[in-house]
Structure 1
Amino acid sequence: MFYYSLWDGYWGRYRIDAETAIQTALQRVPGQVVKVELDDENGFLIYEIDIRTPSGIYEVHVNAATGQVLRIEMEDEWF
């Protein structure tokens, strides 16, 4: 449990929060946010934000350390 607290505090200081990531993603893909996940991708923390638009669902990847949009993908399947 100690290690979790230590790492949680570390990442809390060195990453943007989910709300900032969502606002960044919505600037690129306006719509309704339907899912937000914080994931490890090749050693980097990435927010994966799914946004529903009239043309479909898009997944926006935002670097959790810098706030930079890394890529935007249209989802093929969504239930």
Structure 2
Amino acid sequence: MKTLSTIFAATLLSSVAFAQAPAGTISTKDKKSKDYASLATVTLQEAVDAALVKVPGKAVDAELDSEKGFLVYEVKVVATDNTTHEVTVDAGNKAILKAEAKKGMFK
């Protein structure tokens, strides 16, 4: 029974860890937004290309921003099926941190 409880606890803890959105690699703590471009090691074009690999379609907007204290690109994509998506790309290593479908058109 103790083994079963240990397995359950380990499974629960790992699922909580994976439920959190992954963090980026470049901290924006104590940085001004005007300095973000000089901090990014990934170009805007590289971020757009990474987003389009994740969600094929057409990128209609992209911006460098801080999300949860980390530098990211937010790329808005109209997918090949005409659904709209926002893809969050790490500005330090091109990792896809989040990709979510949005209802309606972007504002």
What TM-score, normalized by structure 1, do the two folds share? 0.79
Q: Per the alignment, in what secondary structure is the counterpart of residue 50 of structure 2?
A: helix
1:76, distance to aligned residue in structure 2 (A): 1.6
Q: Per the alignment, in what secondary structure is the counterpart of residue 78 of structure 1?
A: coil
Which structure 1 segments of 5+ residues have no match?
none
In the alignment, what sits opposite 1:74? 101
**How big is the alpha-carbon RMSD for the aligned residues of Structure 1 and Structure 2?**
2.0
| Cα distance change on mapping 1:23 and 1:65 into 2, 3 Å | same
Percent pairwise identity: 32
**2 CA distance for matches of 1:58 and 1:34?**
10
Query: Do 2:87 and 2:98's aligned partners in 1 also have CA atoms closer than 8 Å?
Result: yes
Could you tell me which of 35, 40, 54 is aligned with 1:28?
Answer: 54
| Cα distance change on mapping 1:38 and 1:9 into 2, 3 Å | closer
Q: Per the alignment, in what secondary structure is the counterpart of residue 59 of structure 2?
A: strand
**2 CA distance for matches of 1:20 and 1:8?**
16
What TM-score, normalized by structure 2, do the two folds share? 0.60
Task: Specify the structure having the higher radius of gyration (Cα).
Answer: 2
